[in-house]
A = this chain, B = another copy of it.
């Protein structure tokens, strides 16, 4: 396949649109019929992308209004493809014309230009912009609503911004309640404040920060995933790397497992209220590519925003001479907070897809 803008084999999400084009949108094909769905449901999730406090995000006002164009009738999904779009409003394309030939370091500008023979829409990163996560979040809103019918809950939150890390582990209840309260999307509200300060500080430096986002999925049934290759962790990882700026993915204890002994890392089986459970969750809820009934726990690293005001070396692709670049325009000094709902969406979409594949979610939902 030439292009790869679809993900999911049963709950199939096709993303379209560019940062500075007319729209950003998504087609969801394969959503079961009979799910109550309104534009409100989508809008709630979409609004989580932009924190109320503008001081840690870019100056761009991106109030996005989600419109459902097909696939919903009388308030329920019909089984037909669902299309949801937002219009792109304020886009100052002229910001980008000036640096067309000067690829921004650690952005997709250079390889994209080579790949598409210069025909790609380079304005604001085009298809590679973080703005396309709008599509992911809209599809994720459907996935989350679908999952909630089957008691599965997906909760992403900020674990670290730069060197400010959340210590310890909050209860799932606290995470659910608090994760979107602070602009930095850290459910430990004291830590959230320190993260915010770190972002404010780095902005003044003309520099940027990255961070770590963690996501848990609760109440997953046992045996979801399609090994060997479409195992649950494999497909989650694939979806997560579809979120711009993600550079690493780990499940459970992740890289730390490499340093443990088997007797330390194994999760012993126990009986809990008559059901099989494990006393620890070092595996992050996935064994052999299948959910094991414990909370799924995944962590991703987000790299620092590559657009920085500081001067950087680059190469002028027209003249083929080395050059100096200072990225102008309004850029988020840290995209981690915006990434949180996108991570949540990527996980929810993958879980919904696999719960349909496993036959747990049927093709037509019963009316409630």
CA of A308 to CA of B267, assembled, Å: 13
User: Cβ of A200 < 8 Å from any Cβ of B?
Assistant: no
Q: Are A128 and B234 in contact (CB under 8 A)?
A: no
Q: Are A248 and B255 in contact (CB under 8 A)?
A: yes
- Beyond A229-B7, A233-B241, is A17–B83 a contact (Cβ under 8 Å)? yes
Q: Are A17 and B70 in contact (CB under 8 A)?
A: yes
CA of A57 to CA of B211, assembled, Å: 39
- Beyond A115-B79, A287-B111, is A229–B305 a contact (Cβ under 8 Å)? no
Residues in A284-315 with C-beta less than 8 Å from chain B = 284, 287-293, 301-308, 310, 312-315
Q: Are A117 and B364 in contact (CB under 8 A)?
A: yes
CB closest chain-B residue, reference A211: B258
User: Cβ of A184 < 8 Å from any Cβ of B?
Assistant: no
Q: Are B231 and A241 in contact (CB under 8 A)?
A: yes
Query: A236-278 interface mask toward B, CB cutoff 8 Å, 1 = contact, 0 = none?
Result: 0111111010011111111111111111111111110010101
The residue from B17, B81, B202 contacting A16, defined by CB atoms under 8 A apart: B81
User: Cβ of A54 < 8 Å from any Cβ of B?
Assistant: no
The residue from B212, B224, B260 contacting A304, defined by CB atoms under 8 A apart: B260
User: Cβ of A62 < 8 Å from any Cβ of B?
Assistant: no
CA of A77 to CA of B363, assembled, Å: 25
Known: A1-B226, A2-B357, A266-B308. 18 other contacts (CB 8 A): A1-B1, A2-B31, A4-B231, A9-B9, A18-B70, A23-B70, A112-B288, A115-B290, A207-B262, A234-B239, A237-B238, A237-B240, A238-B238, A248-B255, A271-B320, A271-B321, A276-B315, A359-B363
